[in-house]
Amino acid sequence: MKIGMVLYPTFGGSGVVATELGKALAKKGHEIHFITYAQPVRLGNFIDNTYYHEVSLSDYPLFDYQPYEIQLSSKIVDVVKHEKLDLLHVHYAIPHASAAYMAQQILKSQGVEIPFITTLHGTDITLVGKDPSFEPVITFCINESTAVTAVSESLKQSTYEHFNTKRAIKVIPNFAPPIAKQMEAECQRLKYAMGNERILCHISNFRPVKRVEDVVKIFYLVNQKIPSKLLLVGDGPDRFMAERICRELGIEKRVIFTGKIVGTEKVLEICDTFLLPSETESFGLAALEAMAAGVPVISSNTGGVPEVNLDGFSGFTSNVGAVEEMAENAIKILDSDENLAKFKKNAKEQASKFELEKILPMYEQLYQEVIAK
């Protein structure tokens, strides 16, 4: 199949899923055309069957705001026509679904039919989408998409709660991209922690929804009982606040801010526990990636996270803001080598339910269905 993949190119989960999905489909022989405004961070080098079409933005002085959606629609029209695509798969509703709809209508006026699938990822529904200023467009696009998928059962239910739609939404969970085994993990680990220290980790875009302050407080409590280090990976609006709190709590020498990293599997390989205390999380791809690397997860029990992290098995889940309970749970995992080994094994076992080989055929089947419609 020839598939147009419309996505955000950044570190956000939706872009990661779209890129990894495209790469996996390309490996199976499908032709994948990524359409976005910058090189997707996970795309990497020259990969067979993948093509990247950059949407260039106009900086004409009349525009206070660049009309990205219009330029994206035009690019989609061009790519569909000239590359003879079979379907579009757009990740994150805003503005990708409305751009796809507009492109579809333009193409229809020129005698070209193109179906489009919208995958809802989370904040497009739970935070941004239900903002009244977006709601009518999102509702319309959900209703007009040839097919709609959501990354968890929880996100599907939230969509029905917040939007005026009865249309079928298929749950296709995210998958853990395959990870190449690192050979020097033990050496690498010693660069960050002494032999007797545990390493905790958090990876995110440091937005308020991630509750990075809770991450630091959980670590502060754990570190009082168990010698440890915290790796904070990523960057965003709450990084400065997190750095300040670390200094106030006197743990700044025990917390390492790495900034943004492309190959996070290298970090995960040296970690013992992953912290994800988010306010809301439709799925928690970062937690799944941690579990796939054998890292147990301490998370909130919000949104789709309990579908991924099994309480008491692959880690623990708690109510949002229950910092002390989350710290106690982390200590339960970290206080003996036996417990840690058990949870690491369980984390991998739970992650295997979301292996790429299990999820990919669900998308391929859906693609066949929408093309046949």
The residues that touch ligand GMT, with contacts defined as CB under 6 A, are 12-15, 17, 92, 121-123, 126, 151, 174, 205, 207, 209, 280-285
Residue number with CB closer to ligand GMT (174 or 309): 174
State in angstroms the smallest separation of the CB of 236 from ligand GMT.
9
State in angstroms the smallest separation of the CB of 317 from ligand GMT.
14
Structure tokens at 277: 């205390």
Structure tokens at 125: 């529904």
Measured between alpha carbons, how far is 81 from 169 in angstroms, rounded to an integer?
28
State in angstroms the smallest separation of the CB of 157 from ligand GMT.
13
Residue number with CB closer to ligand GMT (1 or 127): 127
Residue number with CB closer to ligand GMT (73 or 204): 204
Determine the length of the chain: 373
For 50, the enclosing helix (H) or strand (E) is strand 50-54
Q: Which 8-state DSSP code applies to residue 151?
A: S
Residue number with CB closer to ligand GMT (88 or 276): 276
CB 116 within 8 A of CB 86: no
State in angstroms the smallest separation of the CB of 223 from ligand GMT.
26
In 3D space, the residue among 150, 129, 70 whose CA is nearest the CA of residue 102 turns out to be: 70
Structure tokens at 97: 């679904």
Residue number with CB closer to ligand GMT (283 or 367): 283
Residue number with CB closer to ligand GMT (123 or 273): 123
Name the strands in the sheet holding 2-6, side by side, starting at the edge strand that comes first in the sequence.
50-54, 31-36, 2-6, 87-91, 116-120, 147-150, 170-171
In 3D space, the residue among 93, 125, 70 whose CA is nearest the CA of residue 7 turns out to be: 93
State in angstroms the smallest separation of the CB of 197 from ligand GMT.
29
State in angstroms the smallest separation of the CB of 176 from ligand GMT.
11
State in angstroms the smallest separation of the CB of 154 from ligand GMT.
9
In 3D space, the residue among 107, 114, 113 whose CA is nearest the CA of residue 4 turns out to be: 114
What are the backbone dihedrals phi and psi of residue 16, each rounded to the nearest 5 degrees, phi first?
A: -65, -45
Q: β-strand 31-36 against 116-120: which pairing, if any? A: unpaired
Measured between alpha carbons, how far is 44 from 34 in angstroms, rounded to an integer?
13
Q: β-strand 297-300 against 273-276: which pairing, if any? A: parallel
Residue number with CB closer to ligand GMT (276 or 334): 276
Measured between alpha carbons, how far is 147 from 290 in angstroms, rounded to an integer?
30
State in angstroms the smallest separation of the CB of 276 from ligand GMT.
9
Residue number with CB closer to ligand GMT (98 or 174): 174
